Every structure is written in structure tokens, then in C-alpha cells.
């Protein structure tokens, strides 16, 4: 039985323009009323995730920076440091088109940037030398510490709530969701997910961009 | 003709638990599709407002800290300083039950706190001595610089967009909305508004907590 559902935000509960799906909102509310716990994990910054928790009525912890930082029980907890990612961003800004992203002022454990597609290979190679990962969340690139990813966050939830793997259901659509889709949890995705995410999923919904949430809840018997 | 609609957030597009009304979301989207510009002004911090702009698809600027700070065109603009409000908060924490609010770490122009109801008069008296205002947004108390309020933000929008007063419609429900309800703009409120807001409104909707947005748009001929 699924006790905990962990949702990516962009493309999973939002449309292509990042607007939250009112249908997803209703089903999140319905799920919580049925006793489900829900968390959000996104590449976004923690004050934005704090806002989403408030305004969507999310009952579980919310994670920002792809799992590096959590807001739970009125407190923020950081699991990694931003020092190395920011130093790396400073460096690649001098050797590539990498440009710091606006929300970096609120980042605590990672750095975000944009770059020309032609620079991806070069910057990836440099990141390996620095023992860092770069991850594309479709809306921006993220520089992450080793071990900082959404699977890290899922493990924290598992321990906090004393869950078994098969009591956890994750939903996501893009590359930065891969680590949590490689865990022995239940996995579902919308029709707009990447091929990798689809290949790792127990269930691929025919619905997209937030409209799949209700369908997934039916499939996993969260909603009747 | 209304060209610009300025919305308070808590209690105006959310329910009592601060959860965004899916009905308000749909009507915000409908209004924007009809050519309306929409801004949000709240006591919340600017990264949360930045998140709301993104996730609700708001097309106008968004203001945090009751009007003291704006996110517009990819940039943040501060109109006041946080120095004096934070010094005042430090002081009243020593003479009353005032306790800093969690989101102060992201505040740039004002300070937020909670206090026992019995301390309101004492803290108000001190604020006057310091030439500061304290304002209740129902969810927290705000320490504001003189002149820092939602009317200040409405004036900025008026100038940015070259509007006449009667092309602007404001909607709000509580004390921190009073300054913008004293401007010569059009005013509307939900049924859950304070008596002061109701007495200043051109239209009091029979609907509440976000469900009034569509009704107000009909009343002011924004939606057919």
C-alpha cells in the first residue's frame, strides 16, 4: 500500500509554461484527505518550495535544489554546501557561455546556470574533474555536489517516516528525477516524461503535465 | 475599462488555510487570456512571490513585503531598507512577546514577527516613537517603514504601465490592504473581507476565499 507520494514539480504537476495544474492541485488535496503523505522535490530554491508547501497545502517535507535542502516542521535543513558549486560556476563562466541563474541568491547547496547547448560537453568534462555533477532540469542547469540528488531526499523521507520502499511512490518526468527512479520504490510518470524515465517506470500515464496525478492515484489505489 | 487587476494573496485568492483556490487560478488565466494585466501584492517574501508568479502564470510585476520590493522583468527592485525594522524587532523582542518570523531570512525591506494579543498596544506605541508602522496581515505582524505599503506599489504599477486610476481594479480582504483601498482606483472584495475593506469597496462579492475572483471579473466586465 502506498503511504507516501513524492512529486517532482516542473512538468509533473505543471504545464510546459510551469503553471500549476488545477487538476493536480485537486488530486493532491484529495490524496491528503485520504491519509496520503505528499512531498515535493524540485531543483527550485527552498523559499519557493516553502511557498508551494503553503499554497498547495502539502503535508510532508519539501525539498529544494534537487534534494540538497529540506523544509520540514518549521525548519530548514541543509545537507550539502554551496561553496564548491559556486566556485565551479565562477570558473566555467570564464571558459564557456555559462551564466549564473537569477535564483542563485537563494541557493544554499548548489548553483544554477544557463549555457549554450554547444558548451554542454565541455562543461560536463570540467565538472567531472571537479568531482561535481551537472544536471539539466529542463528550465536550468544545476551544479550539484556528489551524492546530492533526489534519491538522497527520498532516503531521508523513508527514514523520517519509517517507510518500506514499496510504500513510497515517486512521480517525475526529466533527467534530474533519474536518481529517485533508480531506487526500489514504486514509480510513475506522465506521458511527457523522457524515455529514460518511462523505461524506469512501473506505470506510464496516458495523461500529461499534471493531469496524470489523479490517474496515477487511481492506478496505485490511493484514490478509489 | 479595467486594464490592470491587483490582487492580494492570503484570503483573497486562497482559503483560510492559505491554499490557493483552483477557481481563482482558472479565472486569473482567463483574465490574462482576455488581455488583462495582473499583479500580486502580499506581505510574503519576494522569492515566494517570484514562485507564485511562475506557478500561477502572473503577467504583471509581483510585490512582496506589502509593497516594499518588486520582481519585474527578471529583476528585483527594493524601495525601502530593512535596517530600521530589524533594529526595532530586536528592541521589542526584549520588552514584549514579539518573536521573529521564520521568513525574515528572506526579507529585504521589512521585518515580520508574532506576538501575544495583549502586547499589540504596547508594541504599536513603540512603533510610533520609532516612526515605523506595524501591520497585521492575519498570518503575521509586519514592521514597515513609513510610506511602505500596498498603495506605494499600486503607484509604481500605475506609472510603469501608464494607467489612469479608473483602469486599475484592486482586490483584498484585510488590514494591510487598507492603503490601496484608499486610492481613487476601483475596489472589490470577497465576503470574508474586514468591515473596513467592505466599507471602502465599490463591490462586495457574495463569494469568498478565491471564489470571488471570477464573480468580480464579471462585475467589472473583464470576463463576459
Chain B neighbors of A52, CB-CB under 8 A? 51, 55
Per-residue pLDDT reduced to its tens digit, A34-66: 999 999 999 999 999 999 999 999 999 999 999
Cβ neighbours for B150, distance < 8 A, ≥ 6 positions apart: B8, B41, B63, B66, B67, B170, B172, B176, B177, B179, B180
Q: Is the pLDDT of residue A214 over 90?
A: yes
pLDDT value of residue A66 = 96
**H/E run at residue A5:** strand A4-7
Q: Distance (Å) from the C-alpha of residue B125 to the closest C-alpha of chain A?
A: 30
Contact criterion met (CB < 8 Å) for A51 and B54: no
- The residue-averaged pLDDT of B51-74 equals 97
The pLDDT value recorded for residue B138 is: 78
Q: Do B48 and A50 touch (CB under 8 A)?
A: yes
* Rg of chain B (C-alpha set): 17
Contact indicator for A92, A98 with CB cutoff of 8 Å:
yes
The predicted model scores a pTM of: 0.95
Share of chain A above pLDDT 90, in %: 96
Among candidates B26, B48, B54 on the partner chain, residue whose Cβ is nearest the Cβ of A18: B54
A20 interaction partners in chain B (CB closer than 8 Å): 20, 25, 55-56
Cα B1 to Cα B87: distance, rounded to the nearest angstrom:
44
Cα–Cα distance, B224 to B217 (Å, whole number): 8
A37: which strand partners?
A4
Instruction: Categorize the per-residue pLDDT at B157 as very low, low, confident or very high, splitting at 50, 70 and 90.
Output: very high
- How far apart are the C-alpha atoms of A129 and A150, rounded to whole Å? 22
Q: Give the pLDDT of residue A207.
A: 98
Query: What does the alpha-carbon distance between residue A95 and residue B144 come to, in Å, rounded to a whole number?
Result: 44
Facing B56 at nearest CB: one of A19, A26, A44: A19
- Quick one: average pLDDT of A181-197? 98
Q: What is the mean pLDDT of residues A100-122?
A: 96
pLDDT, position B58: 98
Residue A167 — very low, low, confident or very high, per pLDDT cuts 50/70/90?
very high
b/e A57-86 (16+ beta carbons within 10 angstroms → b): bbebbbbbbbbbbbbbeeebeebbebebbb
pLDDT at B137 over 90: no
pLDDT band at B203 (very low <50, low <70, confident <90, very high): very high
Closest by alpha carbon to A37, among A57, A56, A59, A55? A59
Q: Which residues of A are less than 8 Å from B29 in CB distance? A: 19
pLDDT given at position B13: 98
- Chain B residue with minimal CA distance to A29? B19
Confidence of residue A139 (pLDDT cuts 50, 70, 90): confident
Which of A44, A57, A102 minimises the CB distance to B19? A57
Mean pLDDT computed over B190-212:
98
Give chain B as a DSSP string.
---EEEE--TTTTB-TT-PBPHHHHHHHHHHHHTT-EEEEE-SS-HHHHHHHHHHHT--S-EEEGGGTEEEETTEEEE-S-SHHHHHHHHHHHHHSS-EE-GGGGG-SS-EEEE--GGGHHHHHHHHHHTTEEEEE-SSSEEEEETT-SHHHHHHHHHHHHT--GGGEEEE--SGGGHHHHTSSSEEEE-TTS-HHHHHH-SEE-S--TTTHHHHHHHHTTS--
- Count CB pairs under 8 A between chains A and B: 61
Q: For the residues B135-145, what does the mean pLDDT come to?
A: 90
Strand stretches in A65-198, DSSP E: 69-72, 75-78, 99-100, 111-114, 132-136, 141-145, 168-171, 186-189
pLDDT-derived band at B149, boundaries 50, 70, 90: very high
Q: What whole-number distance in Å separates Cα of residue B152 and Cα of residue B214? A: 26
Q: B139 falls in which pLDDT band (50, 70, 90)?
A: confident
Nearest CA in chain A to B103: A47
* B:160-179 residues touching chain A, CB 8 A cutoff: none
pLDDT of residue A137: 81
pLDDT in tens, B102-124: 999 999 999 999 999 999 999 99
The answer on pLDDT for A82 being more than 90 is yes
Partner residue facing A26 (CB), from B22, B48, B55: B22
Residues of chain A contacting residue B45, judged by C-beta atoms under 8 Å apart: 47
Amino acid at each position: 500500500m502506498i503511504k507516501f507520494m513524492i512529486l517532482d514539480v516542473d512538468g509533473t504537476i505543471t504545464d510546459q509554461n510551469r503553471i500549476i495544474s488545477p487538476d493536480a492541485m485537486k488530486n493532491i488535496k484529495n490524496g491528503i484527505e485520504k491519509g496520503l503523505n505528499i512531498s515535493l522535490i524540485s531543483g527550485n530554491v527552498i523559499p519557493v518550495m516553502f511557498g508551494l508547501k503553503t499554497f498547495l497545502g502539502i503535508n510532508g517535507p519539501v525539498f529544494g535544489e534537487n534534494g540538497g535542502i529540506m523544509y520540514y516542521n518549521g525548519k530548514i535543513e541543509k545537507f550539502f554546501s554551496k561553496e564548491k558549486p559556486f566556485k565551479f560556476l565562477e570558473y566555467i563562466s570564464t571558459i564557456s557561455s555559462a551564466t549564473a541563474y537569477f535564483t542563485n541568491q537563494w541557493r544554499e547547496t548548489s548553483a544554477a546556470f544557463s549555457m549554450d547547448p554547444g558548451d554542454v560537453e565541455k562543461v560536463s568534462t570540467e565538472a567531472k574533474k571537479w568531482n561535481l555533477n551537472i544536471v539539466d532540469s529542463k528550465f536550468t542547469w544545476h551544479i550539484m555536489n556528489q551524492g546530492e540528488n533526489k534519491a538522497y531526499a527520498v532516503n531521508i523521507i523513508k527514514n523520517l517516516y519509517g517507510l518500506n520502499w514499496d510504500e513510497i511512490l515517486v512521480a517525475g518526468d526529466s533527467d534530474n528525477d533519474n536518481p529517485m527512479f533508480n531506487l526500489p520504490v514504486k514509480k510513475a510518470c506522465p506521458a511527457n516524461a523522457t524515455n529514460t524515465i518511462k523505461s524506469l517506470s512501473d506505470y506510464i500515464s496516458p495523461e500529461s503535465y499534471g493531469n496524470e496525478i489523479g490517474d496515477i492515484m487511481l492506478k496505485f489505489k490511493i484514490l478509489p
